[in-house]
Homo-oligomer: A and B are copies of this chain.
Amino acid sequence: MSVTASDIARAVGAELTGPGDRIVERVETTDRADKHSLVFIRNEAFIDRIMESAAGAVLIDRQTTLDKPDAAILRVDNVDLALNTVLEMLAPPGAKPEPGIHPSAVVDHSAKIGIGVHLGPHCVVGANAFIGDDTALLAQVYVGTNASLGRGCTFHPGVRFLERCSCGDGCVIHANSVVGADGFGYIPAPDGQGLLKIPQIGAVEIGHGVEIGAGTCIDRAKFGATRIGDGTKIDNLVQIAHNVQIGRACVICAQVGLSGSVRIGDGCLLGGQVGVGDNFVVANGVRLAGGSGVMGNISEPGDYIGTPARAGREAAAGMTLVHKLPHLKARIRALEKALAQQGIELKKPRT
C-alpha cells in the first residue's frame, strides 16, 4: 500500500507543509523510519527523535512547532484520530471472507444461517444455532447448539462458542477464545468424600460491538447469564467467571481475572493482570492499575492500585516504599535504643 502526503492531508483534514507528492508506504517508529515512512508525535517531549529520524512524513498536532526540512508535515487537531485514518489507508488488502460454507464445515441441518455468512474450513455449527447475516466464522470455529450470533460478527480461528450462548451485532472474537465453558463451582460432598459439582445451567450473553481477545475464557452462569455489555473490549487471556456482569464500554486488559458474580460498572478500565475477588462490585468509571487486586467493593469512580486496591496516589506511594521497609525498621530500632539510653520506657506493642 502507498499513498501521497497530499492524499493523507485530504483524508484527515490536515494542514500540509513540505512535499505533497511524498510517497508514504508505512507508519513507523522514529528509529526505523525511512523516507517513505510516516511518524507521529503527540507532544513536544519526543521532538528530538522526530528531528533525528529519516522519516519523510510527520503527523503532528497544530500546537507543536516543528521545522523539519524536506519532510511532509501534516498538522491535525487530533493526532490519534488522524492516525487511525492513516492506518486504514495503509492497511494491506483486506481479506474480507467471501460468503459461503466451506465443504469441510459441519453444519447441523437445523441451524439457521443468515445471508452473506462465511463458514470457513473445519467449522462446526450445532443444532438450532443461529448465525446472523454477514457474520464470518473464519476456520476451525465451534458454535454449539442453540447458540445465537448477531449480524456482522467475526469469529477468528479456533473460537469455541458453546451451547445457548449469544452475542449481538458487530462482535469480534479472536482466536482460541472460549465462551460458555462451565463455571467453576463445587460444594463439599455430603458424605465428606471430595467435591460435588454445582450444575452450571446458565449461559453467556454478550452485547453489541464487543471485542474479545485471543485465548480468553468467559464461563457460563450457574443460572441466568454471565453478561458483557455493549461496546466493551476485552484483551487476551482474560478469565471471566460464572455470573460476572460487566457494563458498557469497559476496557479489560490482558490476563485480568474476574471471580464469580463480580459486577463491573460502565466505562471501567482494568489494567493487565488485575484480579477481582468473588462477588465484589466495582462502580462505573473505576480505573484499576495493572496488577491490582480488588478485595472489597469499590463504590467511587477514580484510579485505584495495589492489593488490596486503594485510591491511586496514596497506594502507589506506599508501594514504592515497600523496599525501604528494612531501612524504616532500622530507624524505629534506632529510636527505641536512643530512648532506652535516656531511660525512657516504652510500652511493649501488643502485636
User: A: which residues have CB within 8 A of B?
Assistant: 26-29, 32, 78, 80-81, 83-84, 87-88, 90-92, 95, 102, 104, 106, 120-122, 124, 139-140, 142, 144-146, 156-158, 160, 162-164, 172, 174-176, 178, 181-182, 184, 186-187, 190, 194-199, 201, 209, 211, 213-217, 219, 222-224, 230-231, 233, 235-237, 239, 241, 248-249, 251, 253-255, 257, 259, 271-273, 275, 277, 290-291, 293, 306-308, 310, 314-315, 317-339, 342, 344-351
Contacts and interface: CB of A to CB of B under 8 A. Distances in A.
Contact of A194 (B120, B172, B194, B231): B231
Contact of A26 (B120, B162, B223): B223
Contact of A217 (B124, B187, B213, B272): B213
A341 B89 CA distance: 70
15 contacts: A26-B224, A27-B201, A27-B223, A91-B199, A106-B139, A139-B142, A158-B178, A176-B215, A178-B215, A215-B216, A217-B254, A273-B275, A275-B291, A324-B329, A330-B350
Nearest to A333: B349
A293 B237 CA distance: 18
Contacts of A199: 84, 87-88, 91
Number of copies of this chain that the complex holds = 3
Given A160-B158, A272-B275, A319 B314 contact: no
Nearest to A337: B347
B239 A198 contact: no
A180 to B, nearest CB: 8
Contacts of A233: 184, 186, 195, 197
Contacts of A121: 106, 124
Interface centre among A27, A124, A223 (most CB of B within 10 A): A223
Interface centre among A88, A176, A209, A323 (most CB of B within 10 A): A323
Nearest to A245: B29
Given A257-B254, A334-B347, A194 B219 contact: no
